[in-house]
Chains A and B, each alone.
Chain A
Amino acid sequence: DADVTQTPRNRITKTGKRIMLECSQTKGHDRMYWYRQDPGLGLQLIYYSFDVKDINKGEISDGYSVSRQAQAKFSLSLESAIPNQTALYFCATSDPRPGGEQFFGPGTRLTVL
């Protein structure tokens, strides 16, 4: 089984809808991340969490919110989706060692019409 799973894998929704993307990990890591990737671009950090009680904004948090339900679960919500949030979304996890390797989920392709 995959170390990091994301659901759904694909989602098409309409402008104004609330969307939740879910992430689960079996690595036992405290640190989890949500990234967004637009075509031809690198990863932009949306939110990150270094433990269950820790939530931090990344570079592009506007329009997004997160919930860290447990060590293994970190969900991302788009409160009111807009077309320019159409992108590929990745969840990742890492251990707390400096420079710890990040393990990525397979991604969620979100299209907002």
Chain B
Amino acid sequence: SQQGEEDPQALSIQEGENATMNCSYKTSINNLQWYRQNSGRGLVHLILIRSNEREKHSGRLRVTLDTSKKSSSLLITASRAADTASYFCATDRGSGNTPLVFGKGTRLSVIA
């Protein structure tokens, strides 16, 4: 079963607006990662947040983690048409010896 579930499944916004995507997971984790996938291409790592961190920034990306609610959010500020992609969260299920489990993703469309 999926460990991480993203919400919403799809999101359409205007260029310049902020985009927020959420991820919920089921078991305890050591860390949570966000990946981006341009249409039909391989996933690219965006950012990792550890279980003892609450917020992390990387350029226009801001990730939060609430371990009590087993949820994370990815905020993309001042979105651009080039941000159009699918975004996936991935969790480690609390062990470094198990593969990451990916959610189904949020499809973001940024309209110029």
Min Cβ gap A86→B in Å is: 14
Distance in angstroms from B84 CB to nearest chain A CB is 16
CB within 8 Å of A: which B38-79 residues: 40-45, 48, 50
Q: Do B96 and A90 touch across chains, with their CB atoms under 8 A apart?
A: no
CA distance A43 to B92 in the complex (A): 14
Q: Please give, as numbers and ranges, the residues of chain B lying within 8 Å of A100 by CB-CB distance.
A: 96
| Whole-angstrom CA separation of A10 from B90 in the bound complex | 27
Whether the Cβ atoms of A107 and B96 lie closer than 8 Å is no
Asked whether any CB of chain B lies closer than 8 Å to the CB of A96, the reply is: yes
B96 touches A99 (CB 8 A): yes
CA distance A107 to B90 in the complex (A): 19
Chain A interface size band reads 20 to 34
Q: Are A43 and B99 neighbours in the complex by a CB distance under 8 Å?
A: no
Q: Measured between alpha carbons, how far is A104 from B18 in the docked complex, in Å? A: 27
Q: Are B43 and A104 in contact (CB under 8 A)?
A: yes
Instruction: Flag whether B30 is at the interface (Cβ < 8 A).
Output: yes
Among residues of B, the one whose C-beta sits closest to the C-beta of A96 is: B96
The interface size bin for chain B is 20 to 34
Contact status of A99 and B92, CB under 8 A, knowing A42-B103, A50-B97, A58-B99: yes
List 12 interface pairs A-B (beta carbons < 8 Å), by A numbering: A40-B104, A41-B104, A42-B104, A43-B43, A90-B42, A97-B96, A98-B30, A101-B33, A101-B48, A102-B33, A104-B42, A104-B44
Other than the known A88-B40, A98-B30, A101-B33, what 19 A-B pairs have Cβ atoms closer than 8 Å?
A33-B99, A42-B102, A43-B43, A43-B88, A43-B102, A45-B99, A45-B101, A50-B97, A90-B42, A99-B30, A99-B48, A99-B50, A99-B96, A102-B45, A102-B100, A105-B42, A106-B42, A107-B40, A109-B40
In the A-B complex, the 6 residue pairs with the smallest Cβ-Cβ separation, listed nearest first, are: A98-B96, A104-B42, A99-B31, A42-B104, A43-B102, A101-B45
A residues whose Cβ falls under 8 Å from a Cβ of B? 4, 33, 35, 40-43, 45, 48, 50, 58, 88, 90, 92, 94, 96-107, 109
